[in-house]
A and B are shown apart, each in its own frame.
Chain A
Amino acid sequence: MGEIFQNLAMGFGVVGNFQSVLWILIGVCVGILGGAIPGISPSMAVALLLPMTYAMSPTVALIMLMGIYIGANYGGSITAVAINTPGTPSATVTAFDGYPLLKKGRAGEAMGISLWASVFGGVISIFVLMFFSVPLSRAALKFWPSEYFALCIMGLTTVATLGGKNWQKALVTCLFGLLLNTMGLDPTFGIKRFTFGVTKLFDGFEMVPVLIGLFALGEVLSNLEHYDPKAAVKREDVDYKMPKFSYYWKLKWSIVRSGLVGCLIGIFPGAGGTIASFLAYDVEKRMSRHPEEFGHGAPAGVAAAEASNSGSVGGAMVPMLTLGIPGSSTAAVLLSALMIHNLTPGPQLFTNEPQLVYGLFASMFVANVLMGLVGHFGAKVWVRVGYIKKTILYPLIFAFAILGSFSIKKSMFDVCTCLAFGIIGWLFKKYDYPASPIVLGLVLGKLIEENFVQTMMVTGPIGFVTRPLTVILFLISIAAIAYPIISERRHKKKAAAAKDSPA
């Protein structure tokens, strides 16, 4: 244990100079901006800046790229809160409560929570990474397809909380999302399905255009429907001020729990921050005393989404550094940055290049602190974005949506996808169909299918019932569905008993 602190001190020694801190700061700023632009994912942001690092030493290169990764993961939440446009898929959940908070005029609160939950979620994950990376990397290998499958099913159970009163409609939209996700080449056999001769559909629908369409365009179209140019512009009562520290303190357990959930799920390659944020959100909603607030501006919802999403960064680094297997697509780019500098990740990296590894850990702390500072001052500016005059804001959101969908793959098809889903999002909003379950279906569909088929091939169907961890995850999923039903029944019985007893 003492050795780790010694090494960490050495790590801080490596990054504790003006030049390194400057590069981290640049990385964080670029990352935040990149993450905020829909269509620039964290992995794209890191890949775009990768060429700049060729001339740097491996350590400086890596810490700057790490800064981008951390910044971009937070940046996605800015547009999610300000204009209901998740800049990255993992920020979708942030929009669930962040945007309603902003609409209620509590913009400072929403921005503040998403920022500090990101920072502390990130810090939690660094601790986990430092102390437990070696044992956890073994756990990552023990996670077989049947476990992934069970984890995804667990993710699906969150649809119950996403739907609320309209749970029947939520279920339908979720299944529709799952079905849409079967379009394109099937993930295991490479057979084309439901592509109707359109090669652009071979990869199914790209995630980000769907998100932008469903959430941002759906919202704008629905607002346009009720827009009245003659109505006097109301001075909305908006609180731009960021809350005080004591306010965040109330959310400490939400942040810790969600950070840990994010970190744990981030470890497993391919699972990623998006599922983590859905699950953490679900956990918080179930633990909350006021679950009805979720989806209408619950501070704990924003905190859960952002803390878990940032927590997944540290998690994704665990298998990357110890096994050479990145936990996320962004970690994969970081890995290639290492390899361009002729460094090979794996257990020997810790012994051969301790300066690099612990320098990286130290830089993650520094990056999170810097992100807190940059974000704190930046939030004062972008918190106002959501309240720009509607005649300017709405056309710009459209322009942003089109640009963002185009830039991912430079494909007009994606732009059309975005617009089509915009209309779907509008209709869904109008007729009380929750849109988030579609996203859940689109995120989980491929994973579910892939891991189902792999389990069938590796162990056969018996694998679903003989592997202890799989069974535990299944039991949790069943409990997650059954508990609300049972508790509701009990309440009804109690209420009935209370009615009967006086008589």
Chain B
Amino acid sequence: MKKLSLILAVIMVFTLLSTAAYADWTPSQPITIMNHVAAGGAMDLYSRKWVELAAKYTDATFVVDNNDGASGLTAGEWVLGQAADGYTVFALAPTYIDAVIQSELDCAEYVDGFKYVYNLMADPYCVLVPIEPEAGNPTFDSFAELTDWAKDNKLTLSEPNYGAKYIDAVQVFDEVGVDFQAISYGGAKKNFAALLGGQAIASVGNPGDTAKYAVKALVVGAPERLAGLPDVPTYEELGYSEKLDGIWMWRGYAVKAGTPDEMIEWFQDLCDKISADPEWIEYMENQLIAVRTDRTEDFTQIVEDEVTSTIDVLKSVDQISADYTR
């Protein structure tokens, strides 16, 4: 009995000591931000900008790393394989969730294995066409022209890897009542090379793409028109369900479940500061992205919705087995 109480006492002292150590969490070694995309991808770009701005508010060292294998699965698996000590952060976007579901992996491990810490942004989806289509391809000035044309012709969409943008395309064109064929290209950049080269008629992308490539948006899925694209209507304005305006691409940070709460709080506070930074806001505005500040509860719900809709859509196109469940 004496022995037992001694052990208990020792355990209690240790727990107290360790919580005391965590109470005011400050990093003692570099924090790795593991991206699910290759260097140069969208999330990579934003996390690097984020790290640049983080230097204003903290002395902590952040290392941005990339692991783009298997649509981001290898990055997720790597983070799950690290210690839950707060020194590894996973930078992810819907593409990762799509990859998990496409490969019919266990969501309990690959989705619930993370704690979703902070969502940084809402990047709307929009339907894009080339400004000057290749000879032989039609020109469109409005979404109605595109849907009318698609009634008598085969509409082809170029999509990166049947990922999140493809999922949005299925939802949009189902609602609109137009059949389309998606052609998958590895990565956003190849996708636009294909679109500009006339291999496909249109593409679902993000508004920021209009600044990067010679493409224009016909319709944008956002609650109201974007300041940067004042002439582009929303789905609701065109008479479609407002549900389509509520689908957007999130990009944020997660950590392995079991990471100390103090670290998460510290990290969320840092995210808050950066999200309020004028330089970050201006940068996001330039990319036509809305800044978000969703913490764990909201972010987890966002991810959950993504999981549900992705499973539904992929089952509807027979991409995954009908027996697959969350």
Contact = CB atoms under 8 A, between A and B. Distances in A.
Answer whether A and B touch in the complex at a CB cut-off of 8 Å. yes
A43 to B, nearest CB: 6
A430 interface: no
A469 to B, nearest CB: 12
A44 to B, nearest CB: 8
B39 A409 contact: no
B69 A454 contact: no
Contacts of B39: 43-44, 46-47, 50, 329, 332-333, 336
Contact of A190 (B52, B64, B161, B286): B161
A190 B160 CA distance: 11
Contact of B199 (A140, A144, A188, A270): A144
A122 to B, nearest CB: 21
Contacts of B194: 145, 454
Interface in B102-129: 102-105
Given A46-B39, A51-B52, A202-B69, A190 B99 contact: yes
B149 interface: no
B40 interface: yes
Interface in A37-51: 43-44, 46-47, 50-51
Interface string B179-202: 001011110011011101111100
Interface string B83-104: 0000000000000000100111
A500 to B, nearest CB: 57
A202 B189 contact: no
Interface in A313-346: 319, 323-326, 329, 332-336, 339-340, 342, 344-346
Contacts of B214: 323, 346
Contacts, number: 141
Interface stretch (B5-13, B73-81, B219-227, B233-241): B73-81
B107 to A, nearest CB: 14
Interface string A442-460: 0000000010011001100
B69 A203 contact: yes
Interface stretch (B43-51, B245-253, B260-268, B292-300): B43-51
B189 A332 contact: yes
A245 B102 CA distance: 57
A190 B211 contact: no
A189 interface: yes
Interface string B197-217: 111100000000001111000
Contacts of A141: 134, 193, 196-198
B71 interface: yes
A342 B103 contact: no
Contact of A202 (B51, B70, B184, B211): B70
A345 B71 contact: no
B319 interface: yes
A212 to B, nearest CB: 18
A143 B78 contact: no
Contact of B40 (A185, A187, A335): A335
A51 B48 contact: yes
Given A145-B199, A202-B70, A344-B212, A410 B78 contact: yes
Contacts of B192: 324-325
Contacts of B45: 336, 339-340
B178 interface: no
Contact of B71 (A47, A190, A335): A190
B283 interface: yes
A54 interface: yes
B314 to A, nearest CB: 10
A441 interface: no
Given A270-B186, A324-B212, A344-B211, A189 B162 contact: yes
Contacts of A202: 69-70, 73-74, 103
B193 A199 contact: no
Q: Name the residue in A187, A332, A450 with the highest tally of chain B Cβ atoms < 10 Å from its Cβ.
A: A332
A213 interface: no
Nearest to A185: B70
A447 to B, nearest CB: 9
Interface string A84-118: 00000000000000000000000000000000000
Interface in A199-217: 199-200, 202-203, 206
A203 B70 contact: yes
A197 to B, nearest CB: 11
A339 B70 CA distance: 25
A332 B40 contact: yes
Nearest to B61: A51
A269 interface: yes
B171 interface: no
A188 B286 CA distance: 32
Contacts of B102: 185, 190-191
B35 to A, nearest CB: 10
Nearest to B287: A339
Contact of A458 (B52, B74, B183): B183
Contacts of B310: none
Contacts of A334: 40
Contacts of B196: 141, 323
29 contacts: A44-B39, A47-B66, A51-B64, A141-B193, A144-B199, A145-B199, A185-B99, A189-B162, A190-B161, A199-B105, A200-B77, A202-B73, A202-B74, A202-B103, A203-B69, A270-B190, A319-B193, A323-B214, A324-B212, A326-B40, A335-B40, A336-B41, A344-B211, A344-B212, A345-B212, A409-B78, A410-B67, A453-B184, A457-B156
Given A319-B193, A324-B212, A333-B39, 11 more contacts: A46-B39, A185-B103, A189-B162, A190-B184, A191-B102, A270-B190, A325-B189, A326-B189, A329-B40, A454-B183, A458-B199
What are the 3 tightest A-B residue pairs by CB atom distance, in nearest-first order? A332-B40, A203-B69, A141-B197
